[in-house]
Copies of this chain bind each other. A is one copy, B any other.
Amino acid sequence: MRRNAKVGLGLMVLLATTVFAAEPLHPRLLLTPADVQLIRSELDPVSGFGQSLAATKARVDRYFESTPDVPVPVDPGGGYTHEKHKENGVAIHDAGILYQLTGDAGYAAHARDLLLAYADLYPALGRHPVKQSRTPGRLFWQSLNESVWLVYAIQGYDAIIDTLSREQRARIESGILRPLADFLSIESPEVFDQIHNHGTWAVAAVGMTGYVIGDQDYVLKALYGLKEDGQAGFIKQLDLLFSPDGYYAEGPYYQRYALMPFLLFARSIQTNDPEFGIFEYRDEVLLKAVYACVDLSYANLFFPVNDAIKDKGLDTVELRYGIAIAYALTSDPTLLSIAKIQKPYVLTGDGFHLAETVDAGSSKPYVYRSLVFRDGPAGDEGALVVLRNGGEPDQQAVVFKATSQGMGHGHFDKLNWLFYDNGREIVTDYGAARFLNVVLKNGGVYLPENTSWAKQTVAHNTLVVDERSHFDGDWNVGQQSHPRPLLFESNDNIQITAAEMRDAYSDVAFSRTIALLNGVVPDRAIVVDVLNVGSKNSHQYDLPLHFNGQIMVASPALADHGDVMRLLGTANGYQHLWSRASTFIDGKEMFSMTWLTTDRFYTLTTVAQDGLELILAELGANDPNFNLRREQALILRVKDVNAHTFVSVLEPHGEYNGPAELTTQSNSSITSLRRFHGGGADVIRITTDSGAEHFLALSYDPRADESHKVTVGDRTFVWQGYYGLFDEQGERK
């Protein structure tokens, strides 16, 4: 066996002394006899935990008013049998936990009866009749749901095991728990040994089952792979699926989802084998992963990069476990403010501790910061950068996506950016085209438009060359390269980041610099966005901006295309866009467009280097099943050039207060935007209506000690490193 010798040894010792002792103690996963004793003695029904317990109790009582159906599997996600089995798995868990926390033997009987029913059903089941998944299950159309079911059910079994006769235990273990664990492990090696969130769910289910039924082999396979050689399994997944900063390769949406089995299994390992030090492993990578989920959110919802359904955020069950466990490990009082937006508390020992501390009023605000999340197991495969203009959850934030591809759920959006302000999405990402579990929508799985639109480059706010997506839309190719981060700096005047990308197109390289700049307009920062692209060949370069809001005005006006809306293109996402209106500006001319997002105005100002076409596009063409939301984008387009620099500024301004009938500053403060070029460097000049001039000088050279110089009229700008920031008074940094 090849594995971490120290960890492995520690585990072997414990396996011999605890789980497999003559009288194993239960429960032994996320709840222990000591937890139960404490909770039962201290529980106050009007406390936060007491209310969470009461809510679960009410739900479970309702569920068991009649005997739950355990149907023969028929339906895909969202269908009756699918939802029923999901509910039953959770009900076994909940009833078991309620038995422990209330002492009411009726709950144990509910869990027992369901488990016995599954012990009768499961052995005779073949593969699920819905053939939509490459990894079908037996209870469910995909084996993933089967893993999730067992993660819940094994906790319920663990909670009631002491109430069962030897014969009942044998029936349950031989009828459902072992057959299911075997199905998920030795019978599904392509999932179990995969370095992927489906693999994590499988190893967690099997490993937790091993702890509960006292089968060491399940635990070892879960930790080290089917061959128990450390080339697969939980520890290898911890090594490869997270970056050193706790970033998960698929992005925050799947980071949340994967976190659940990581945390539940890790917490079970900690209960059974505390010497393992699982939460210390890899410089506390699991803890970093929990914090990363929080930091990769805005207004409590995750940044929807890659395949992501946009309604998921901090108030999901995964994060409720995550915050409870992270608080138990850190006693960080700012985590309590996250717990306060989550309901209910998880019914574990950590959940009780968290709830009691929140009730005691110990919460402090979580302070959001500008952060770099390196990507890749070694942290050298690009990065996701978050710039924030303040610590509160609704303040300005820029997301800069310079990550690796993120496997099959990755989007083709190298150097994409998003902007949030005032608690809202302003510059948006479509997320995934999917209505999760809605049978009417293709059975609830990813829709065809996820591939034809949502993943395509034009669905994002980044460069599209010749109307083709990055890597020509092949994620296996995308997986082989990643952007190179160039810069990240954050101070009171400026927060700035940059990266370059060379391999998205065979003959095109582009870099992008994005800055949140304070001191130009009152109270808020503006965003400066500079994208440089170059090729030895001539191309069409499109830079879309997907924006959320109602257009107020554009200057020069965007001219309607008459009385017919035509397609913008034919493939790679363009076939879904209507060309609504357009205009054209010559070199050095400015275009600006102002929109209103609920109660604040936003103006994009851009300056043309060469002639620049501006196209207002609306989403919804070639969508016969109405699978797409009706969204919009402004596309900046240059044609037949080798190189181009896109320079834009986005300014939040003013207020529209409908109820108070008050509107202020609906006009942008920015009166002029210019780019001055010299010797490979640029100076961007921003002039406001007060007459003040601000200059952002960019060398594009990440070496900190190199000096650069550009002369603009009678003024010479000299700075060191990637950028310099100047106003009338000289350089400020």
Binds B, one of A45-53, A310-318, A369-377, A518-526: A310-318
Please tell me if A135 contacts chain B, counting CB pairs below 8 Å. Answer: no
- A58 CB-CB contact with B under 8 Å: no
> A662, B439: Cβ atoms under 8 Å?
no
Q: Which of A550, A578, A661 has the most CB of B within 10 A?
A: A661
A105 within 8 A of B: no
> Is A660 in the interface zone, CB < 8 Å from B?
yes
Subset of 13 A-B contacts with CB under 8 Å: A313-B659, A435-B550, A435-B596, A436-B658, A439-B667, A440-B552, A550-B629, A554-B626, A560-B624, A565-B565, A618-B620, A618-B630, A630-B630
Closest to A566 in B: B564
- Chain B nearest CB, measured from A443 CB (Å): 11
CA distance A683 to B656 in the complex (A): 50
Q: Cα distance A71–B594 when bound, in Å?
A: 27
Residues of B within 8 A of A659 (CB): 311-313, 315-316
| Residues of B contacting A438 in the complex (Cβ-Cβ under 8 angstroms) | 552, 596, 656, 663, 666
A309: Cβ under 8 A from any B Cβ: yes
Count the A residues whose beta carbon is within 8 Å of the partner chain — how many? 57
Within 8 A of B (CB), among A638-683: 656, 658-664, 666-667
User: Counting CB contacts under 8 A, is A186 at the interface?
Assistant: no
The winner among A316, A444, A563, A580 for most chain B CB atoms within 10 A is: A563
Verify if A688 is at the interface (C-beta below 8 Å from B).
no
How far is A437 from B656 in the complex, measured between Cα atoms in Å? Answer: 8
| CB of A270 closer than 8 Å to a CB of B | no
Q: Which residues of B contact A566 (CB under 8 A)?
A: 563-564
Contact A663 B564 (CB under 8 A): no
| Cβ of A180 under 8 Å from chain B | no
Q: CB within 8 A of A440: which of B312, B581, B667? A: B667
Chain B residues closer than 8 Å to A660, beta-carbon distance:
317
> Which residue of B has the minimal Cβ distance to A558?
B626
CB within 8 Å of B: which A286-340 residues: 309, 311-313, 315-317
A78 to B594, CA, bound (A): 16
Q: A316-B659, A630-B630 are in contact. Are A666 and B439 (CB under 8 A)?
A: yes
Nearest chain B CB to A431 CB, angstrom units: 11
**How would you classify the secondary structure of chain A's contact residues: helix, strand, loop or mixed?**
loop
Contact with B along A581-617 (1 / 0, CB 8 A): 1000000000000101000000000000000000000
Asked if A662 contacts B437 (CB within 8 A), the reply is yes
Give the oligomeric copy count: 2
Query: Is the beta-carbon distance between B83 and A664 smaller than 8 angstroms?
Result: yes
- The reply on A395 being an interface residue by CB < 8 A is no
Whether A666 contacts B440 in the complex (CB less than 8 A), given A311-B658, A596-B435, A656-B435, comes out as yes
Closest 6 CB pairs of A and B: A311-B658, A551-B626, A437-B663, A565-B565, A440-B552, A78-B663
Question: Shortest Cβ distance from A480 into chain B, in angstroms?
Answer: 33
Q: Does A567 contact B (CB under 8 A)?
A: yes
For residue A664, which residues in chain B have a CB less than 8 angstroms away from its CB?
83
What B residues does A621 contact at CB under 8 A?
Answer: 563, 565
A441 CB–B CB distance under 8 Å = yes
Q: Is A553 an interface residue (CB 8 A)?
A: yes
Known: A594-B440, A667-B440. A563 touches B662 (CB 8 A): no
Judged by a CB distance under 8 angstroms, whether A622 is at the interface is yes
Closest to A595 in B: B626
- Contacts of A404-427 to chain B: CB distance below 8 A: none
Q: Could you say which residues of chain B place their CB within 8 Å of the CB of A317?
A: 660
* A624 nearest CB neighbor, chain B only: B560
A:47-80 near B, CB below 8 Å: 78
What is the bound-complex CA distance between A625 and B594, given in angstroms?
12
A441 to B565 CA separation, bound complex (whole angstroms): 24
| Given A78-B666, A438-B596, A439-B667: 15 more A-B contacts, CB < 8 Å | A309-B658, A312-B659, A437-B661, A438-B656, A439-B666, A440-B553, A441-B552, A552-B626, A558-B626, A559-B624, A560-B622, A563-B621, A565-B578, A618-B620, A630-B630
A13: shortest Cβ distance to chain B, in Å?
Answer: 39
